[in-house]
Chains A and B, each alone.
Chain A
Amino acid sequence: SAVISQKPSRDICQRGTSLTIQCQVDSQVTMMFWYRQQPGQSLTLIATANQGSEATYESGFVIDKFPISRPNLTFSTLTVSNMSPEDSSIYLCSAPGQGGVQYFGAGTRLSVL
């Protein structure tokens, strides 16, 4: 399995501000993934974070709103920029363990006032 540590676990933020979420994996992985879970909804992929290159964003998500860093093979950050109440969600990162099986962090619960 892969152990994925994510922080903060939760935060309450004011609209117009930005929050950076950190994700640490206990092993080196080529790709890490960031997902959003809006209230009462399923998970939607935001982007794939590749080490050494720019993140690949899914339709409906843009780099200006969700900049991602991937400085090394065990760490990634997702920033939620210029937040509005519509950004209130759970944000989760995932990474593959042995054989490519996907594991998730505990998530960051974000509330925007």
Chain B
Amino acid sequence: GEDVEQSLFLSVREGDSSVINCTYTDSSSTYLYWYKQEPGAGLQLLTYIFSNMDMKQDQRLTVLLNKKDKHLSLRIADTQTGDSAIYFCAESMTGGGNKLTFGTGTQLKVEL
């Protein structure tokens, strides 16, 4: 089966950049996603990248995809306290009609 792995915790200072990493195993994934979950809330789609892309930038967010190493990262520039949340990467499963396999989630804590 497919496993998607993330480090569990990341702590950064406000204003610094945060980099959240993810490794996946399904080399034929169509999309790779980053979702944000704040305490008590549902899942917010932050950004996604199509598998034929290497990089995608959207305001403070930069996604890098290394297909050779099956590595995905999310960089948040100028991290704010409002960015404190759990971040999940997810991959769409081959032939699965867009169903997703999620990573374990990384809890980002932003300190003043």
A44-81 toward B: CB 8 Å interface, digit per residue (1/0)?
11001000000000000000000000000000000000
B104 contacts the other chain (CB 8 A): yes
Q: Is the CB of B33 within 8 A of A102?
A: yes
Would you call the interface of chain A mostly helix, strand, loop, or mixed? strand
Interchain CA distance A101-B30 in the complex, whole Å: 10
Q: What total of chain B residues lie within 8 Å of the partner, measured CB to CB? A: 24
Interchain CA distance A84-B59 in the complex, whole Å: 44
Q: What total of chain A residues lie within 8 Å of the partner, measured CB to CB? A: 23
Give chain B residues whose Cβ lies under 8 Å from the Cβ of A94.
100
From known contacts A31-B97, A42-B88, A102-B98, infer whether A92 and B31 are also in contact, taking CB-CB under 8 Å. no
Q: Is the CB of A45 within 8 A of B99?
A: yes
Q: Which A residues contact B (CB, under 8 angstroms)?
A: 1, 6, 30-31, 33, 42-45, 48, 90, 92, 94, 96, 100-107, 109
